[in-house]
Structure 1
Amino acid sequence: MTLSSLIRLIALAALWGGSFLFMRIAVPHLGAVPTAVGRGLFSTLGLGAALFILGYRPRLGRYLWPLLALGVINSGIPFLMYSLAAQVLPSGYSAIFNATTPLVATVVGALVFAEGITRARIAAVLLGIGGVAVLAQAGPLEITTAVLGGMAACFVATVCYAFSSFLTLRLAGANAPVDMRAAVFISQLGALLVLLPALLIHLFLHPQAMTELQAAPLLAWSNVALLGLLSTALAYVLYFRLITDEGPQKALTVTFIVPVFAVLWGWLLLGEPLSLAHVAGGGLIALSLWMVLRPVAPK
Structure 2
Amino acid sequence: MSPKLAAEFVLLAALWGASFLFTRQAALEFGPVATAWLRVAVASVALLPVLLLGGHWRTLRRHGGRILFVGLINAGIPFGLFAYAVLSISTGLAAILNATVPLFGAVVAWLWLGERPGCWRALGLALGFTGVALLSWNKASFQSGGTGWAVVACLAATVLYAIAASYTKKHLMGIAPVATATGSQIGAALGLLTPAWLTWPAGPVSARAWLAVLAAGLVCTALAYLIFYRLIESAGPARTLTVTFLIPLFAIGYGAVLLDEPVTPWMVGCGAVILAGVALATGFVDPARLTARHRPAALP
| TM-score greater than 0.5 by the shorter chain | yes
- Residues 1:59 and 2:58 are matched in the alignment: yes
Q: Aligned residue for 1:143?
A: 141
Asked if the contact 1:128/1:284 (under 8 Å) is kept, the reply is yes
- Distance change (3 Å), C-alpha of 1:90 and 1:273: closer
Alpha-carbon shift at residue 12 of structure 1 (Å): 2.9
CA RMSD of aligned residues (A): 3.3
Q: TM-score, normalised by structure 1?
A: 0.79
**What is the alpha-carbon distance in structure 2 between the residues aligned to residue 216 and residue 287 of structure 1?**
41
**What is the alpha-carbon distance in structure 1 between the residues aligned to residue 260 and residue 158 of structure 2?**
28
Asked if the contact 2:100/2:278 (under 8 Å) is kept, the reply is no
- Residues 1:293 and 2:284 are matched in the alignment: yes
- Residues 1:95 and 2:95 are matched in the alignment: yes
**What is the alpha-carbon distance in structure 2 between the residues aligned to residue 148 and residue 141 of structure 1?**
6
- Distance change (3 Å), C-alpha of 1:224 and 1:246: same
- Residues 1:182 and 2:179 are matched in the alignment: yes
User: Aligned partner of 1:268: which letter?
Assistant: V
Identity %: 34
- Distance change (3 Å), C-alpha of 1:14 and 1:121: farther
What are the equivalent positions in structure 2 for 1:180-219 lying under 5 Å apart?
180-203=177-200, 209-210=201-202, 212=203, 215-219=204-208
- Distance change (3 Å), C-alpha of 1:25 and 1:261: same
User: Aligned partner of 1:228: which letter?
Assistant: G
Asked if the contact 1:256/1:285 (under 8 Å) is kept, the reply is no
More divergent stretch after superposition (190-199 vs 13-22): 13-22
Q: Aligned residue for 1:206?
A: none
Asked if the contact 2:90/2:255 (under 8 Å) is kept, the reply is no
**What is the alpha-carbon distance in structure 1 between the residues aligned to residue 9 and residue 205 of structure 2?**
34
User: Aligned partner of 2:192: which letter?
Assistant: L
**What is the alpha-carbon distance in structure 1 between the residues aligned to residue 245 and residue 130 of structure 2?**
10
**What is the alpha-carbon distance in structure 1 between the residues aligned to residue 129 and residue 241 of structure 2?**
13
| 3-state SS, counterpart of residue 11 of structure 2 | helix
Q: Aligned residue for 2:13?
A: 13
User: Aligned partner of 1:186: which letter?
Assistant: G
**What is the alpha-carbon distance in structure 2 between the residues aligned to residue 261 and residue 10 of structure 1?**
10
1:11-51 per-residue CA deviation (whole Å, 9 max, x = no partner) reads 33222211111111111111111111110111111111344
Alpha-carbon shift at residue 260 of structure 1 (Å): 1.6
**What is the alpha-carbon distance in structure 2 between the residues aligned to residue 56 and residue 21 of structure 1?**
34
Q: Structure 1 regions of 5+ residues with no counterpart?
A: 204-208
What are the equivalent positions in structure 2 for 1:158-173 lying under 5 Å apart?
158-173=158-173
Alpha-carbon shift at residue 71 of structure 1 (Å): 0.7
- Distance change (3 Å), C-alpha of 1:134 and 1:282: same
* Number of residue pairs matched by the alignment: 283
1:66-113 per-residue CA deviation (whole Å, 9 max, x = no partner) reads 111111111111111111212222211211221221111111010001
1:213-251 per-residue CA deviation (whole Å, 9 max, x = no partner) reads xx211111101011111111122334445666645x765
- Residues 1:224 and 2:217 are matched in the alignment: no
Larger Rg: 2
**What is the alpha-carbon distance in structure 1 between the residues aligned to residue 10 and residue 278 of structure 2?**
12
Alpha-carbon shift at residue 269 of structure 1 (Å): 2.5
**What is the alpha-carbon distance in structure 1 between the residues aligned to residue 121 and residue 223 of structure 2?**
29
Asked if the contact 2:85/2:153 (under 8 Å) is kept, the reply is yes
**What is the alpha-carbon distance in structure 2 between the residues aligned to residue 5 and residue 111 of structure 1?**
34
- Distance change (3 Å), C-alpha of 1:116 and 1:234: farther
Of residues 235, 248, 256, the one that matches 2:224 is 235
User: Aligned partner of 1:58: which letter?
Assistant: W
More divergent stretch after superposition (217-226 vs 288-297): 288-297
**What is the alpha-carbon distance in structure 1 between the residues aligned to residue 6 and residue 172 of structure 2?**
20
**What is the alpha-carbon distance in structure 2 between the residues aligned to residue 253 and residue 154 of structure 1?**
20
1:110-144 per-residue CA deviation (whole Å, 9 max, x = no partner) reads 0001113012223345555566778779xx75724
**What is the alpha-carbon distance in structure 2 between the residues aligned to residue 271 and residue 147 of structure 1?**
18
Q: Aligned residue for 1:112?
A: 112
